[in-house]
Amino acid sequence: RELARCGARVGLFARREDRLNALAQRIRQEGGWALPLPGDVAKRADVHAAVERLVREGGPVDVLVANAGRGMHGEDETNAQAVADVYSVNLFGAVYAFEAVLQDMRRRGAGRIAVVSSGTALLPRLAASHAYASSKEALGRYFEGIGRELRCEGIYVTVIYPGFVRTEMTSGHKWMPFALEADHAARLIRRAIEQGRRRY
């Protein structure tokens, strides 16, 4: 909604089609342009198909925000499949999206990529889940490194390390110091993307 309010055409990608449709409708009612793109970020083919459709219907991708996140809620963190499921969303989902937009951004010599890591990547002792914190730390390390290489091509990569934000994902947390409302966090993130910050 924040990007749409600034005049961007937005593609909305997530698994729950009903939620996507409701959000797209809200954006349109506010005067924006939105295309719901249902799919699973952990599936490379879904991500690439969504980007291809968005480009056909909305034009080239100028800004990618990779914001998907999955926590560990009561699962056994020594179970390899459970850990792999977290990494497939938190790390590889962002890599798939990045891969899907990079070639065209390189061709145009311009683009903005923002990936949402977590404050727990910087302060892992605060994390309730080792799998979550380490996946977000890997995300930041990968994209900060790639970002240094891409700046000379006109592509700016911003890694966001938010603290607590009040969302559905954090609704069960009892202790959330300095928590931000989602709209406020979105405005701060949008500014960091516009400024081309390496990390925020």
Lowest mean pLDDT among 33-42, 79-88, 115-124: 115-124
What pLDDT is recorded for position 165?
Answer: 63
Higher pLDDT, 130 or 13: 13
Q: How far is CA 86 from the centre of its chain?
A: 14
Give the pLDDT band (50/70/90) at residue 129: confident
In the chain, pLDDT over 70 holds for what percent of residues?
Answer: 88
Active site members:
132
Give the pLDDT band (50/70/90) at residue 177: low
Give the pLDDT band (50/70/90) at residue 112: very high
Measured distance CA(89)–CA(168) in Å, rounded: 17
Give the pLDDT band (50/70/90) at residue 16: very high
Helix pair angle (80-87, 130-150), 10° resolution: 40
- What DSSP element (H or E) covers 104? helix 93-108
